[in-house]
Amino acid sequence: MSYRFPWYRLSDEHLLDMRICDLNLTIKGSFLEPHIRRLYSELNERSIRFKPHVWLSEEWFSPDGVPGIAIPFYLAHPRLMKLERKQMLEIEGGTDTECMRILRHEAGHALDTAYRLHFKARWRILFGSFAQPYPDFYKPRPKSRNYVLHLPAWYAQAHPAEDFAETFAVWLSPRSRWRRRYKGWPALRKLEYTNDLMRELAGAKPRNRTRTKVEPLSAIRTTLRQHYRNKREKYDFDWPANYDRELLRIFSDDPRHKRKPSAASFLRKIRRDARQLVADGTGVHQYTIDHVLQNMIDRCNDLRLRVAAPARETRRKVMIVLTVQVMNVLHSGYHRIAV
Ligand SMILES: [Zn+2]
């Protein structure tokens, strides 16, 4: 990893004052370079001639009409990954596995654009209308077998475009054994169609060869501080939650227990573990889960709740209530990954 960047020794406070366009980041020589090379070689192995172009931007996305992939800048330097974790509590795409997962998903969008796949009649029958607007929220059905499972939060269910990108990603993943994994699932038809489609495309020139970079870093004049302020706002939510009944089932406001530890301090102690566990189970961003937890802590303080049951039992109940609340958030207007 190259440390030729003068800003990498700055404290967070000073770093946050920098404008994103002044970071001078490049993909070359970064954590991202080998992953992109791997994506290209996976496409080569499947005889797909098209290779989406990639560039750094603020978020992961593949723009409408441009067959390429924008990658969030923080993945291009370990100092910025550290800042990302501090600001957002997790680094989306920060491990080898997760980075490849998202790249394959975005490659699905890029391929769709490059070969104009969603205009095909069979595509529309299997995945639905590409033109339908993105919903403000989607209600995933975790048990549905009509969709493949790839990115978290049952993302294939969000929109036909996402369904195709997810199906493509599963198809492309080496050793995904999709025929066996999805045997008996209606989703298998989508995988088989994708398999046929990709065979047809083998060696074909893409129809859309635009190499435009949408929202490249050089054009982003906001500071890192402003960037994170906006990003956190996106993961916050207005949730007129009332957990009181649930909290009273876990904790107690009986004066008998007034010498026991406070519910708020108990929640603060398990905060990190709880956040991680529920994020793994639901696919919801840790920042959002932390927000739910903070609301619960505040409410426990207001109600002067105490821990009355054994710690293990209390912990287990907290995890259940937290998961249910987080699923409610998922159902009421939460988006994890941009197009
Ligand atoms: Zn997507």
Separation of CA 308 and ligand 1 centre (Å): 45
Separation of CA 317 and ligand 1 centre (Å): 34
Res. 152: pLDDT tops 70: yes
Q: Is 86 exposed, middle or buried (0-12, 13-18, 19+ CB in 10 A)?
A: exposed
Res. 240: pLDDT tops 80: no
d(CA 96, CA 39): 12
Separation of CA 73 and ligand 1 centre (Å): 18
What secondary structure letter does DSSP report for 59? S
Q: Quick: pLDDT tens for 271-307.
A: 999 999 999 888 888 888 898 898 899 999 999 999 9
Q: Quick: pLDDT tens for 13-23.
A: 999 999 999 99
Separation of CA 159 and ligand 1 centre (Å): 9
For tokens 């960037």, the residue is 227
Separation of CA 160 and ligand 1 centre (Å): 10
Separation of CA 316 and ligand 1 centre (Å): 34
Separation of CA 61 and ligand 1 centre (Å): 7
Q: What is the mean pLDDT of residues 46-70?
A: 96
Res. 63: pLDDT tops 60: yes
For residue 199, give Cα distances in angstroms to 78, 103, 285, 330: 39, 21, 36, 37
User: Maximum Cα–Cα distance for the chain, whole Å?
Assistant: 75
For residue 233, give Cα distances in angstroms to 81, 194, 228, 229: 19, 37, 8, 6
Q: Quick: pLDDT tens for 188-205.
A: 999 999 999 999 999 899
pLDDT band at 1 (very low <50, low <70, confident <90, very high): very low
Our CA dihedral for 145, 150, 152, 153, rounded to 10 degrees, sits at -30
pLDDT band at 223 (very low <50, low <70, confident <90, very high): very high
Separation of CA 156 and ligand 1 centre (Å): 8
Separation of CA 151 and ligand 1 centre (Å): 9
Res. 238: pLDDT tops 70: no
Res. 313: pLDDT tops 90: yes
Q: Which residue has the higher pLDDT, 241 or 131?
A: 131
Q: Is 102 exposed, middle or buried (0-12, 13-18, 19+ CB in 10 A)?
A: buried
> Per-residue DSSP letters for 232-295?
HHHH--------HHHHHHHSB--GGGTTSPBHHHHHHHHHHHHHHHHHHHH---HHHHHHHHHH
Q: Quick: pLDDT tens for 71-90.
A: 999 999 999 999 999 999 88
Separation of CA 263 and ligand 1 centre (Å): 39
Please give the mean pLDDT across all residues of the chain: 92
Res. 154: pLDDT tops 70: yes
Give the pLDDT score at 334.
Answer: 59
d(CA 183, CA 333): 32
Separation of CA 239 and ligand 1 centre (Å): 25
For tokens 């959002």, the residue is 288
Q: What is the mean pLDDT of residues 158-186?
A: 96
Query: What three-state secondary structure class fits 70?
Result: strand
Tokens representing 168 are 């493509």
Closest to 308 (Cα-Cα) out of 255, 252, 268: 252
* pTM beyond cutoff 0.75: yes
Instruction: Name every residue whose Cβ is closer than 8 Å to that of residue 215 and which is 6 or more positions away in sequence.
Output: 57, 58, 70
> Per-residue DSSP letters for 71-123?
EEGGGG-HHHHHHHHHHHSS-TT-SHHHHHHHHHHHHHHHHHHHHTGGGSHHH
What secondary structure letter does DSSP report for 306? B
Q: Quick: pLDDT tens for 252-262.
A: 999 999 999 99
Separation of CA 158 and ligand 1 centre (Å): 9
